[in-house]
């Protein structure tokens, strides 16, 4: 296919991706706007960092702890002359830097109860600025640590308590996007399978059954507007088709009364030669009008169907047409299986379809030889003559209305067309079977169980 069909799946993926990216962008913007770098860098951020660094650095000794001079705490201390640290672990304790007296006292008094927090000095509402206390568990056991005296200005960009929560969320968002994308790639083909029943229904609507519609009950809700639109379009087409069919039927119908008038006038003529000529012309007109009515009537799918025996119908047709065929110089014969060949159909219409084929052979079969009607157990009917066959030039339009073999032929050019319309209405077909001599037309019917659709 040269032109690419716009893919709904592609659009779904693109839309989903764009919406997802937009959502993340909005989310990040919110984080950036609200995530003030100084938010955490308040008076106790410094002490909290100092405390964390100390907990990482502290090395237990026999009677206390030692702070290595190359650790993070040492680095922080080098920038903060006022930094202080207190540690208590069981009976061991240590201190570093100028510890405020109130802190030392508070720790001494409440130490064992403290989990983590800030220092509240009795009588003062706000916690003691620039100091934190926290119970940590390090290699040697539980340790109560207090730190303070860190100037926030001395904190560098590397001085943080760990990755900001925004970064973690970003990672999660990324994985959600990957999994979502993959899920969508898998889900879309499965989803598009939901369209298949509808597509199959639409494909099975034939021109002979303009009353059929897509099933709105079973259509996915999202597709309902499309299905309704499609059905409404079919409604409009069907009503127009109905109007046209009625028009043709009415026109053919209305022609009958004036034809009757002419027929009676012709009979009143004195001149026998004129009378003969007019009778023949009139006969053709009458035939044409009734064929036109038949095309409209017999090709409708709404006609009543029943199980019929093709062999019996063919036998009646051959019996009816034999006198004419014999008078025209032919031998007419029927070959049929002994058992019935059953199809679902309209006996009257099928009889017309066969009659038209035999009539066609009588008209074009060369006026001699055999016309054979053969009913096959595989629900086919072959009508074969021994005439000159159908000229190649005529074959493409053979079943079109008003295509005629020779200009002097008596037919009106609707017979084979009517046969084709009848066969279509039965879900079957008529075709010209290639043969070395003569012409063979074959009718093929559907099996009765296939034909019985809801």
| Residue ranges in contact with other proteins by CB under 8 A | 253-254, 256-265, 267-268, 282, 286, 290, 293, 297, 315-316, 318-320, 322-323, 326, 331-336, 348, 373
**Exposed e or buried b per residue across 240-275, where buried means at least 16 C-beta atoms within 10 angstroms of its C-beta:** eeeeebeeeeeebeebeeeeeeeeeebeeeeeeeee
258 alpha-carbon distance from chain centroid: 55
CA distance 47 to 419: 100
We find the least distance from the C-beta atom of residue 240 to other proteins, in angstroms, to be 24
Q: What are phi and psi of 59, to 5 degrees?
A: -115, 120
CA distance 116 to 303: 91
Whole-angstrom Cα Rg for the chain: 49
Burial (Cβ within 10 Å: 0-12, 13-18, ≥19) of residue 193: exposed
User: Residue 142: which of 112, 120, 105, 162 has the closest Cα?
Assistant: 112
Residue 235 vs 331, nearer CB to other proteins: 331
Whole-number Å distance between alpha carbons of 384 and 176: 72
Query: In the complex, what is the shortest distance from the CB of residue 324 to other proteins, in angstroms, rounded to a whole number?
Result: 10
203: phi then psi, degrees, rounded to nearest 5 = -70, -25
Q: Residue 83 and residue 77: Cα distance in Å, rounded?
A: 6
In the block, which residue shows the tokens 């002097």? 408
Which residue lies nearer to other proteins by CB, 131 or 341?
A: 341
Q: CB-wise, 191 or 312, nearer to other proteins?
A: 312
- How far does Cα 142 stand from its chain's mean position? 65
Question: Least separation, in Å, of the C-beta of 334 and other proteins?
Answer: 3
Nearer to other proteins by Cβ, of 140 and 301: the residue is 301
Nearer CB in complex with other proteins: 253/442: 253
Q: Which residue, 48, 129, 59, 136, is CA-closest to 94?
A: 59
CB of 279 to other proteins, least distance (A): 9
Q: Which of 397, 370, 398 is nearest to 382 (CA)?
A: 370
> Toward other proteins, which CB reaches closer, 223 or 282?
282
CB closer to other proteins, 143 vs 373: 373
Give the residue with the Cβ less far from other proteins, 121 or 334: 334
* Shortest reach from residue 210's CB to other proteins, in Å: 20
Nearer to other proteins, 80 or 356 (CB): 356
Question: For residues 38 and 338, which CB has a smaller minimum distance to other proteins in the complex?
Answer: 338
Distance CA 142, CA 74 (A): 22
Q: Toward other proteins, which CB reaches closer, 226 or 262?
A: 262
Q: How far is the CB of 400 from other proteins (least distance, A)?
A: 25
What is d(CA 51, CA 53) in angstroms, rounded to the nearest whole number? 6
Q: For the beta carbon of residue 83, count every other beta carbon within 10 angstroms.
A: 24
- Taking the C-alpha atoms of residue 134 and residue 26, their distance in angstroms, rounded to an integer, is 37
Using CB atoms within 10 Å of the CB of residue 301, give its burial: 0 to 12 exposed, 13 to 18 middle, 19+ buried.
Answer: middle
Q: How far is the CB of 330 from other proteins (least distance, A)?
A: 11
Helix (H) / strand (E) element for 176: namely helix 165-192
Comparison of 46 and 359: residue with beta carbon closer to other proteins: 359
Question: Exposed, middle or buried by CB within 10 Å (0-12, 13-18, 19+), for 149?
Answer: buried
What is residue 5's DSSP assignment?
P
């Amino acid at each position: 296919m040269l032109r690419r069909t716009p893919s709904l799946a592609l659009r779904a993926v693109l839309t989903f991706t764009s919406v997802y990216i937009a959502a993340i962008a909005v989310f990040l913007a919110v984080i950036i706007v609200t995530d003030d770098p100084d938010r955490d860098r308040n008076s106790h951020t410094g002490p909290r960092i100092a405390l964390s660094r100390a907990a990482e650095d502290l090395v237990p000794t026999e009677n206390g702890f030692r702070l290595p001079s190359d650790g993070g705490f040492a680095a922080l201390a080098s920038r903060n002359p006022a930094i202080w640290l207190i540690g208590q672990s069981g009976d061991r304790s240590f201190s570093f830097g100028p510890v405020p007296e109130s802190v030392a006292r508070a720790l001494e008094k409440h130490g064992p109860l403290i989990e983590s927090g800030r220092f509240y000095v009795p009588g003062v509402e706000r916690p003691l600025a620039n100091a934190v206390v926290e119970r940590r568990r390090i290699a040697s056991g539980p340790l109560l640590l207090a730190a303070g005296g860190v100037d926030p200005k001395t904190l560098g960009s590397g001085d943080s308590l760990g990755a900001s929560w925004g970064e973690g969320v970003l990672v999660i968002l990324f994985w959600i996007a990957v999994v979502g994308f993959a899920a969508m790639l898998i889900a879309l083909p499965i989803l598009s399978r939901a369209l298949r029943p509808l597509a199959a229904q639409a494909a099975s609507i034939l021109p002979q059954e303009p009353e059929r519609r897509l099933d709105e009950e079973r259509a996915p809700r999202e597709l309902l507007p499309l299905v309704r639109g499609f059905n409404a379009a079919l409604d409009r087409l069907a009503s127009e088709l109905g109007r046209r069919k009625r028009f043709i039927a009415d026109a053919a119908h209305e022609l009958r009364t004036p034809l009757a008038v002419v027929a009676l006038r012709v009979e009143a003529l004195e001149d026998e030669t004129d009378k003969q000529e007019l009778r023949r012309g009139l006969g053709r007109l009458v035939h044409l009008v009734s064929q036109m009515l038949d095309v409209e009537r017999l090709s409708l799918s709404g006609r009543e169907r029943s199980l019929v025996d093709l062999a019996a119908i063919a036998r009646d047709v051959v019996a009816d047409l034999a006198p004419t065929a014999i008078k025209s110089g032919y031998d007419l014969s029927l070959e049929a299986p002994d058992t019935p060949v059953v199809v679902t159909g309209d006996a009257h219409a099928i009889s017309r379809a066969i009659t038209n084929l035999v009539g066609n052979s009588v008209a074009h079969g060369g006026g001699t030889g055999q016309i054979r009607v053969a009913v096959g157990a595989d629900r086919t009917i072959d009508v074969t003559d021994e005439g000159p066959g159908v000229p190649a030039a005529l074959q493409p339009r053979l079943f079109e209305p008003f295509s005629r073999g020779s200009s002097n032929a008596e037919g009106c050019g609707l017979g084979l067309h009517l046969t084709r319309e009848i066969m279509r209405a039965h879900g079957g077909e008529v075709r010209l079977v290639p043969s070395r001599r003569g012409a063979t037309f074959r009718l093929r019917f559907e099996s009765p169980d296939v034909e019985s659709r809801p």
